[in-house]
Structure 1
Amino acid sequence: MFGLTFDKLLLIGVIAVFVLGPERLPYYAAQLGRLVRSLKEMADGAKDRLRDEMGPEFDEVDWKKLDPRQYDPRRIIREALTDAPEPPVIKPPTHKRPVESAAERRRQLADSGTPAPFDAEAT
């Protein structure tokens, strides 16, 4: 429940004894018990009201299927991307340009005497 282990609950109890003191601790423990009991009654009331309003279909609903913790965003994105329509086919240009390597381009620039391209805003 909320990631609380027995060790953490014991530590919270010890801190409560020091902060509240032994005189006020029983009163606040009783208040906490009443709060938990009223929250449980409210949850049960909401469940009963939902069952009354939905009728017999309430018992047929698979509640585990609607649990948001079961959803994996990576799986959802993967499924969405695989179900996407096929992208349009882009035809390559009909004219062919000669392929030159970066080394050839550097040699051509060095031979022509033009300075290398420079971007003043580049980091």
Structure 2
Amino acid sequence: MFGLTFDKLLIVAVIAAFLLGPERLPTYAAKLGQLTRSLRDFANGAKDRMRDEMGPEFDDVDWKKLDPRQYDPRRIIREALLDDGAAPAGAIKPVTQSAYAARKMPLPAGAVPPFDSEST
């Protein structure tokens, strides 16, 4: 959560306790509890509304698959290439020379450099 560890949160809590003082600390702790409850109720309400609108299909959705933390571009490309009945993974030829290395090669005498009319 935003790079915050338990140690950092503890330090922030101690500093807040000193800044707020013992007379205002219970009031702010109660407000924090109310905020937490209202956020939880909001999330549960959104979940219930989604369940109502999607119907019985809501429980069939694999939510872990839709988690953005599971995003791996290499896996997605590999699956997309192999889903269309393409050759098995061992048959894919590795790139032996990069486009950067090919670009640095000098052109033979009289050769016209490549030009893409759609890019300009």
**With structure 1 as the length reference, what TM-score do the two structures score?**
0.57
For structure 2, list consecutive stretches of 5 or more residues without a partner in the other structure. Answer: 87-120
Deviation, structure 1 residue 81? 8.4
Partner residue, 2:14: 14
Structure 2: distance between partners of 1:78 and 1:61: 23
Deviation, structure 1 residue 8? 2.4
Q: After superposition, where does 1:1-123 map in structure 2 within 5 Å?
A: 3-76=3-76
**SS in structure 1 at match of 2:8:** helix
Structure 2: distance between partners of 1:80 and 1:62: 19
Structure of larger gyration radius: 1
Structure 1: distance between partners of 2:36 and 2:70: 27
For structure 1, list consecutive stretches of 5 or more residues without a partner in the other structure. Answer: 84-123
Distance 1:46 1:61, change over 3 A: same
Give the aligned residue type for 1:44: N
Quick check: 11-20 or 52-61, which moved more? 11-20
Moved over 6 A (4+): 78-83
Number of residue pairs matched by the alignment:
83
Deviation, structure 1 residue 73? 3.2
